[in-house]
A and B are shown apart, each in its own frame.
Chain A
Amino acid sequence: MARTRRPRRPRLTIGLLVLASISIITLDYRGDAHGEISSLKNAASDAFSPVQRGVDAVTHPIGSFLAGAFNGGELEQENSKLRAANGAMARQLLAHQAMADQLKSLQVLEHLPWTGSIPTQTAKVVNLNPSNFAATVKLDVGTGEGIEPGMPVVGGAGLIGQVIAVSSSTSTVRLITDADPGSQIGVTFGTSSGNVASVQGGGIGRSLTVNLIPPGTPIHKGEVLTTSGLPDLAYPPSIPVATITKFSSTSSATQESVTAEPLADLDQLAYVDVLLWEPTS
């Protein structure tokens, strides 16, 4: 293992590249060049979209064939559509149940829009979790279909997330399991209008943490959490989000320790609905 004298040029190169990287990160993080960077990302996404669809069209049937499923591609697609339709019905049922409960005590919120009356745009999931460090999915719809950042996305039996970036033909959705502290969702549960809480993702494929439930609050396993529409109206009210799977409390705790599972199966997303509804904040 012969060692030679360390040359100077690589140090200069790496120094310049690190400086350039940190400058780009800073510009993006501080928002100084966020618009330009978003435009660049959107352009790249639009340019890459036909390649992705083309390769998908070639590799998907091969994958199905290798999986041993003759005509598996068609069946799988049909299955996905049926699963999406089934989930939509389950979601409507849960939303109706939640609405029926809440109507008893949430008369003050009567003027707020209800999910059932919001128009939707069906989309196909083209990429699940492109990063190992962010729970996101990419959809095959964009500004051309009326999609805007902030729009809620539902799939299966409940909420799956919110649109965070849109190009002309694709959009990126941050899933409710994302651990980003800024992605908390205001939810309500039970029949009392005062039963509000906050749901926080725990990372890709992990359970949700429910915060702000005072000790002694009557809750039970399987209870459905629905969007409250409050406090910042990031989501319309009454979208089913998750079910409570575990809860506990200690005498000194300031809140119940509550865990919930998303109603939508976030690992099996194929078709979803984007609610054409923009946040008010």
Chain B
Amino acid sequence: MTSTELARSSVVLFVVLVVQNTVLDGVRVAGAHPDAMLLLPMAAGYMAGPDRGAGFGFAAGLLADLFLPTAFGLSALVGCLLGYGTGLATRGLVRSSWWLPLIVAAGATSVGLSAYAILEAVLGEPGALSADLLPALAVAVPAAVVLATPVVRMVGWAMPPVPPGRAAGAGVR
């Protein structure tokens, strides 16, 4: 990662964090709200491949964990796995369709929230799986579809896709 990419990535992380904590946290339906921080690993994996997706997802998750009451490191674990998984699942795809990121965002958000709830339940919070997951999915997945395009564009600005063959595991544009 170049210094320009690092600086741009920091800006993107900060902007999305501010939007999440000041605007999106207030958009509540049935007690749940959209989760833009979960879209960052997805966008990084989609745009830059599994390697950089995992790293960006880890950083985004760790940053989100600073402001969450849940176990520290949980979002980082989900973030790096989500970035890596999205990078792997989409690296062979030709991205000419405008709707592809929307579908990837919906799928990644579903997987990310489910993984988070399962890990929370493992750590002694069974209510995360039995009570909180369904409302979270019902609100965050449609919101992810709406937010996917701007978040993917922002992450693409910070971490431009590497042409095929230039870097191992990089996404194919």
Contacts and interface: CB of A to CB of B under 8 A. Distances in A.
Interface of A: 1-4, 7-10, 13-14, 17-18, 20-25, 27-29, 37, 40-41, 44-45, 48, 51-52, 55-56, 59, 127-136, 164-165, 172, 174, 178-181, 201-206, 267
Contacts of B70: 131, 133-134
A8 B135 CA distance: 38
Given A10-B87, A55-B22, A204-B32, A25 B71 contact: yes
Given A18-B77, A205-B30, A52 B21 contact: yes
B68 A10 contact: no
Contacts of A178: 127
Given A48-B21, A51-B18, A55-B22, A17 B55 contact: yes
Contacts of B71: 25, 28-29
Interface stretch (B2-10, B113-121, B152-160): B113-121
Contacts, number: 174
Contact of A56 (B22, B67, B93): B22
Interface of B: 18, 21-23, 25-26, 28, 30-33, 35, 49-51, 54-55, 58, 61-62, 66-74, 76-77, 80-81, 84, 87-88, 91-94, 113, 116-117, 120, 123-128, 130-133, 135-136, 139-140, 164, 168-169, 172
A1 B135 CA distance: 35
A135 B131 CA distance: 11
A238 B111 CA distance: 44
Contacts of B33: 129, 132
A9 B168 contact: yes
Given A44-B66, A179-B131, 11 more contacts: A10-B169, A14-B81, A25-B73, A25-B123, A44-B67, A127-B26, A130-B67, A133-B70, A174-B69, A180-B125, A205-B31
Given A2-B92, A204-B135, A206-B131, A14 B54 contact: yes
Nearest to B61: A21
B76 to A, nearest CB: 5
A115 to B, nearest CB: 25
A133 B93 CA distance: 33
Nearest to A33: B72
Contacts of A20: 58, 76
A29 B73 CA distance: 10
Given A14-B54, A59-B22, A204-B135, A164 B69 contact: yes
19 contacts: A1-B92, A1-B93, A4-B92, A17-B76, A21-B58, A21-B77, A22-B73, A22-B77, A24-B76, A25-B77, A128-B25, A130-B21, A130-B69, A132-B136, A133-B116, A165-B69, A181-B124, A181-B126, A204-B30
A18 B57 CA distance: 11
Contacts of A180: 125, 127
B54 A204 contact: no
Q: Which 10 A-B pairs have the closest CB atoms?
A: A179-B127, A203-B131, A24-B73, A205-B31, A204-B31, A21-B77, A7-B168, A132-B136, A25-B73, A44-B66
A126 to B, nearest CB: 9
Contacts of B131: 179, 202-204, 206
A144 B136 CA distance: 34
B50 to A, nearest CB: 4
Nearest to B23: A59
Given A7-B169, A59-B23, A181-B126, A28 B72 contact: yes
A41 B22 CA distance: 17
Contacts of A21: 58, 61, 73-74, 76-77, 80
Contacts of B50: 10, 14
A67 B59 CA distance: 36
Given A10-B50, A10-B169, A128-B25, A204 B132 contact: yes
Contacts of A135: 31
Contact of A132 (B26, B84, B132): B132
A46 to B, nearest CB: 11
Contacts of A13: 51, 54-55, 84
Contacts of B73: 21-25, 27-28
